[in-house]
Amino acid sequence: MTEQLEQFLTLTIRATQDDLGKILSCFKVRQIAKNEILLNDTETCRHIYFINSGSVRAYFIDEEGNEATRYIAFENNFITTLNSFITQTTSTEFLQATENGEVMAISYQDFRQLLSILPIWKDLYIKQLEIAYTTNTWRLESFIKMDAKQRYDYLFETNPKVIQRLSNKIVANYLGITQESLSRLKGKK
């Protein structure tokens, strides 16, 4: 169960077997079911999840009940609601499983403990923060600079599993378009 995370860590950071043991001992395996809410917007985010299988999305809901998907994580990626996790305050986002799968969760306390004892864990944290920053910046820029077709084409080229594995509702929501518009775009491919 920890093999996937171990392989990810071995490829991402130069960890000794002792370091890997310390890191892996902090993660707990959890099975997730499609549509399961891992975090709602009335809770404080107390975990970071590593996706072994399946997928999880982070999304907001506005006052009218409209969803806006910020991020979708598939295998070998981390996901959390970073602002809530860092500040340990109530989340403004939800985390939801978009497929059946398995995640590995590390608690806020264990995460902070690893930061204090393992420099390589800090290196991984910095890399993940950089990925989050560049991903969020690209998402914002894409909504400002690209029309719906350009966003769809880019997603199709760079991350086709979003389109292939997830419902049209989630894909449309992620792209910021209606399901009808998504169907038209898919029909033109």
Alpha carbons 79 and 83: distance in angstroms, whole number: 12
Q: Are 176 and 185 in contact (CB under 8 A)?
A: no
Q: Which runs of E-coded beta strand occur in the chain?
A: 27-32, 37-39, 47-53, 56-61, 67-73, 78-79, 94-97, 101-107
Give the angle 146-152-158 at the CA atoms, nearest 5°: 100
Q: What's the confidence (pLDDT) of residue 92? A: 96
Domains of the chain: 3-120 (2.60.120.10)
- Region 41-45: mean pLDDT is 96
Alpha carbons 113 and 121: distance in angstroms, whole number: 10
pLDDT in tens, 135-184: 889 888 988 999 999 999 999 999 999 999 999 999 999 999 999 999 99
Phi, psi of 86 (to 5 degrees): -65, -45
Q: HSE on the CB side for 132, CA within 13 Å?
A: 14
Share of the chain above pLDDT 70, in %: 99
* 3-state SS class at 126: helix
Tell me which residue of 45, 43, 47, 59 sits closest to 166, measured CA to CA. 59
pLDDT in tens, 19-35: 999 999 999 999 999 99
Residue 15 has pLDDT above 90, yes or no: no
Give the type of residue at 174. Answer: Y
Cα distances from 96 to residues 67, 68, 79, 81, in angstroms, run 12, 12, 11, 11
Q: What's the confidence (pLDDT) of residue 189? A: 64
Residue 1 has pLDDT above 80, yes or no: no
Alpha carbons 51 and 80: distance in angstroms, whole number: 11
